[in-house]
Structure 1
Amino acid sequence: MGKLDLVTIIIIAANIIISYKGFGDYSFFDKYKFHVGGVQRGEQIRMFSSGFLHVDTQHLLFNMLTLYFFAGVVITLLSPLYFILIYGGSLLVGSLLSLYFHRNEYHYSAVGASGAVTGVLYAAILLRPEMDLYMFFIPFPIPAYIFGIGYLLYSIYGMKNRIGNIGHDAHFGGAIGGYAITLVLSPGLFKTNLLMIGLLAIPIVLLFILKKMGKM
């Protein structure tokens, strides 16, 4: 973890440059943020551009630090091209899930690389489920797969109860994107990590069951 490859540097630089442009130019920010009404009017660019905008420096820093820690795992075990596919695909799936859950909320808007970053995080966990994660507020390491499952279960809770000013659905969609794209790009995982594939699918299946039951 923490390996800084050229492709990671380029993505982080793009996030910083575009986010800081948005910090100082509200019309730019408003034009490219995720906005349900805008997307429904045909402004599909918002589905992608919103992933490079952030609310403030803290929001930007948190996402870029998370990306920094996990991008190297995906790039090393797959490739830079596959990493880009996972990053971009997770961003779009996160936006699609947000659009699906908020399609009747014309004024709903969101920004941030969280969907893409969560996709990279989930891809890294799928590729190396045995790695330990260290959190600032927990004094002992957490197995990556436990963190991944717990994070998505919390995201379901956050989506259901609308906790905080956080796009939990984009996070969840990003994780689905990272999970699915990684399995398509690395089908050998079905032979080596089948149990982990099943465990990490639990929150995803749960979300769709709850949605089907009308509880989301």
Structure 2
Amino acid sequence: MSRTLPGLGLGALRCALRRPISVAPVARPLSSSSATSKPRLTSSSSIPSTSLLTKERVTALWARQPHPAAPAATMTHRLLQRAFSSSPLGRIRDHYNRSSGSGSPPPRPGVIATIRARVNRWNPTYVVYAIMALNLIIFLAWQYAISSWQRFRDPALYNWLWKNFILSIPNITEGRIWTLITSTFSQMSTSHILLNMLGLYFMGPAVAGLLGAFNFLGLYIGGGLFASMCSLLYQMLNRNKHRRVAGSEGASGAIYACLAFFGTIFPQATFLLFFVIPAKAWMVVTGIFIWDFYHAITSRQGLTDSAGHAGGIAFGVASGLYARQKYLGSWRRSFRL
């Protein structure tokens, strides 16, 4: 599945003041001690000494003398700092903490804010490629483990991968809860990883460029985690029925979260199904959700984790609705949509 995306070129965000604010220097008259009278020249008087303070020397000496900042400059600085503070919450803190003094150092950012700032320095597209590389590494590990078991009768690596990269009820009950995340980076078959990485390659950079590296990782990992929880719940509900699920793995739940997020933000965007059939984004997201939800309810035989797919789509739609309410206006102004 491919798609035709609207222009999402990330132009530099420009912000300019309507009117430049300049502070005029405040002139201060020279004191009586520094003022000198022009010497009266007579025929008998000698050539004036170079120690006499000419107008240029007085100006130069005055410029070298330290003098306090003008009150107007200090007031302008305070007005600018208050008008262009980083957040409304910061203005509220400044308003109620005036007793601390204007010279107090700003508070240190929290741990999450520091991590967010560092992660957002990464190129969002490279983050997508790193996720694809991680999926490929785990896929190659699976292939080596399967080959070792078949050729050398050595199941050690296969068992280790199964315990740490497959979402199953035994793994969770035995305390390996990290499989809720690690299973979203695991693909055992060639067709599985090709389809998933193809979808991530086309959809990932667009969403990552829109959200930034930190928020994209939050969407991707959060969508995969919620999809795993839905898949695990489905396995528990069908534990004693005719369809027993040994385990689940794959990045499709996280990728569907990205797809649903983009479709919720830009419902009129055009996707190309099978590289040929054009369809609106909201139609694609709705159709996939209905199909997977129906497939999970009817419990038909198959190798598709429909419950995980539906969970990933639900997470992406919820995240998209939240983002539309909070950020859509600024995105449209930034990207000229």
Shorter chain as normaliser: what TM range? 0.7 to 0.9
Q: 2:136 is matched by which residue type in structure 1? A: I
Q: 2:222 is matched by which residue type in structure 1? A: G
2:306 aligned with 1:173: no
Q: Identify which of 269, 280, 299 aligns with 1:143.
A: 280
Q: Identify which of 50, 65, 68 aligns with 2:201.
A: 68
* Structure 1 residues not aligned, in runs of 5+: 193-216
Q: Which residue of 1 aligns with 2:160?
A: 28
Question: How far apart in 2 are the matches of 1:150 and 1:181?
Answer: 19
- Measured after TM superposition, the shift of residue 189 of structure 1 is 6.3
SS in 1 for 2:203: helix
Tell me which structure has the larger Cα radius of gyration.
2
Q: Which residue of 2 aligns with 1:86?
A: 219
SS in 2 for 1:44: coil
Change over 3 Å in CA distance of 1:107–1:172 after alignment to 2: closer
2:59 aligned with 1:59: no
- Measured after TM superposition, the shift of residue 185 of structure 1 is 4.6
* Structure 2 residues not aligned, in runs of 5+: 10-123, 146-157, 331-337
Instruction: Tell me how many residue pairs correspond in the alignment.
Output: 191
Give the share of equivalent positions with the same residue, in percent.
Answer: 26
Cα contact 1:98–1:169 (8 A) shared by 2: yes
Question: How far apart in 1 are the matches of 2:312 and 2:264?
Answer: 14
- Measured after TM superposition, the shift of residue 174 of structure 1 is 0.9
* TM-score, normalising length: structure 2: 0.52
Q: 1:162 is matched by which residue type in structure 2? A: S
- Measured after TM superposition, the shift of residue 187 of structure 1 is 2.8
- Measured after TM superposition, the shift of residue 165 of structure 1 is 0.8
Q: Which residue of 1 aligns with 2:259?
A: 121
2:128 aligned with 1:8: yes
Question: How far apart in 1 are the matches of 2:207 and 2:138?
Answer: 24
RMSD: 2.4
* TM-score, normalising length: structure 1: 0.80
Cα contact 1:22–1:28 (8 A) shared by 2: no
More helix by share: 1
Question: How far apart in 2 are the matches of 1:5 and 1:190?
Answer: 21
Q: Which residue of 2 aligns with 1:17?
A: 137
- Measured after TM superposition, the shift of residue 7 of structure 1 is 0.5
Change over 3 Å in CA distance of 1:81–1:190 after alignment to 2: closer
